[in-house]
Structure 1
Amino acid sequence: MTTNEFYVPDLCRVRAVFLLLVTSELLVLVLAIVQATQGWIDWNYFGLLSLFVQWTTLTSAALICLLRARLARMSVSGATAIIVAIVLLDVLAFSLFADSVLHPQDGVAVWQGVAKKMLLALLIVLMVLRYFYLQHQWQQQREAEMQAHLASLQARIQPHFLFNSMNTIASLIAVNPDKAEEAVLDLSELFRASLRTVDQLIPLSRELELCQRYLAIEALRLGDRLKLEWHIETGLEQQAIPPLTLQPLVENAIYHGIQPRPEGGTVRIEAEAKGNFVYLLVQNPKPDQNTHQHDGNRMALVNIKSRLQALFGEPAVLKHSHHNDVYTVTLRLPRQKVSEQKTHNKRTENQGNLDQP
């Protein structure tokens, strides 16, 4: 089990510790209200108990933070036992100190008070750990469902761009076998990309390469009617992007903006970084208001937007606009890189999987 798979939140993070402190302070408030014999709350009890609970919470969180890597390598029951022992020892130490300094009593009374505090601490820490465990299980289930959802969304793309290419290759076999062979290689890479469902994110350079292969096939079919303009900012090669995100947008630009026009047109593809985001643009002549084409375009946009939301959440944006007879699709991604080594390993693994009979 890695630290990311450990069911206890990372208590080295300020946000996690802050939430833990707020929760414990609310518990202290409830106990102070219950303890009060006059008025709504016993403020003396509230102040002393707050001091005790906050110090206990902070020191326990610090110890669990330091031991997190080791705890993550243990079984759930073993890690739980260690955490409970840490908290109880912490409560024992602070209880003995508080009772001996603030309320000197005889030995029996001191140990009775300590036993009560430890029993209460045991019940609370078990409830908190149970909550953490259930929350972790729910998160794992949610991630598994998201993986299945992403695979389903990506699978819907597979038939979307393959069949027209087969017709183009068939027409080239007799008249230009060399170009037909190049088109087959390009098409095989497109097939490989559509079947590679294990990759959630790939480098932008690989997605652009896929677009180039697709456009090479379409150029054989459209000839001079298809003109291309590329404006790709340097340094974005490792920008993370879901696979088959930009390619369907380019395909829509061809299908809706170039193919219906006898004179053809220009497809412009841009990629640039601004602040913490990377912007991708695909521009083409404004498509005709054809219901069938409009519905197909909308389905592709909805598909891509769903995958972006599942992977990046709100920071990722997909929008489209018309201006001066130019149709533009803009894609905004959070600035994030894909590790080269990880990408290489994934590609090697996928290549082996696909080459197996």
Structure 2
Amino acid sequence: MSAGRYHPLLIPGLALIVVGAAFASIFLGAVTISPTRIWAVLTGGGDMIARTIILDLRLPRMLLGLLVGAMLGVAGAALQGYLRNPLAEPSVLGASNSAALGAVCALYFGLSELHPLALPLLAILGGAIAILTLFLLSGSAESPLTLILAGIAVSTLAGAGISLALNLSPNPFAAMEIMSWLLGSLENRSYDHVWIALPCVIVGAALLLADGRTLDALTLGEEGAQALGVNLSAARLRMMLGVAIGVGGAVAVSGSIGFIGLIVPHLVRPLTDRSPSAVLLPSLLGGAALLTLADIGVRLIPSTNELKLGVVTALLGVPVFLVHLMRERRLW
């Protein structure tokens, strides 16, 4: 990707924001720790309490914020380019809801109590099943509209399964646990969750970033893209696998977090040449920064119980998206 395809300060600026958000996530929290104590921990020393808070609580939470946000951001940008729909996000293909259903099954049947990895693994399995179902529903059709319709069907079915689990929940506490997970959070996450999300995000993001030229070709329509030598079936396979693996792994450890994949591409697009490929990398960086900053916010907002990250991203995302939509509506 040539530097001329986006504002020269966009990538460096986003990189600085990501680094700043990462450090702020370590330095800020419900418990105030002096910079001297934090620096001592980061340099290999420090007292036991500070080391526990920084290394065991804040550091894995920061890493997951960056990973999950980056995956949701690049997935949203890729899907908006592939489906040629400015409202597309990971939930369009049903991957988010299906991964959430897998996690809900782990909570409902008590599998998460048997082993901490049961919940994220079932969430990833749910995303994979959603993609297989999409293949069966859409068949060999290459039109993005077919994928959208199939994705709506899969997402609706997964949503019904989640509602059924809540309806049949054996006790109020189980229902509360399911609802708490569905609201999304990075609270009380460990390095086990980081190692689950990391390979999924790397594979998923790599598959989506590799399709930049295909996304640009699709702006000419399916026939135009095929005339340029694009294999639409292979492109669809890469897109679906990228979303299933990446978003499935992200949702598996964070719960359902919305609007990141929707609003981030719209925020960075005006600083690019508006081609789908030029939006991918900025959306990855922007998603990482936005989710990490939102997670810092939920820790600092005074409340009896820590606010859920999914709620905050929705409250922040809707007005930002509406304002941006009013400004940019003539360009779509």
Structure of larger gyration radius? 1
Shorter-chain TM-score bucket reads under 0.3
Query: Greater helix share, 1 or 2?
Result: 2
- Structure with the bigger RCO (C-alpha within 8 Å, sep 6+) is 2
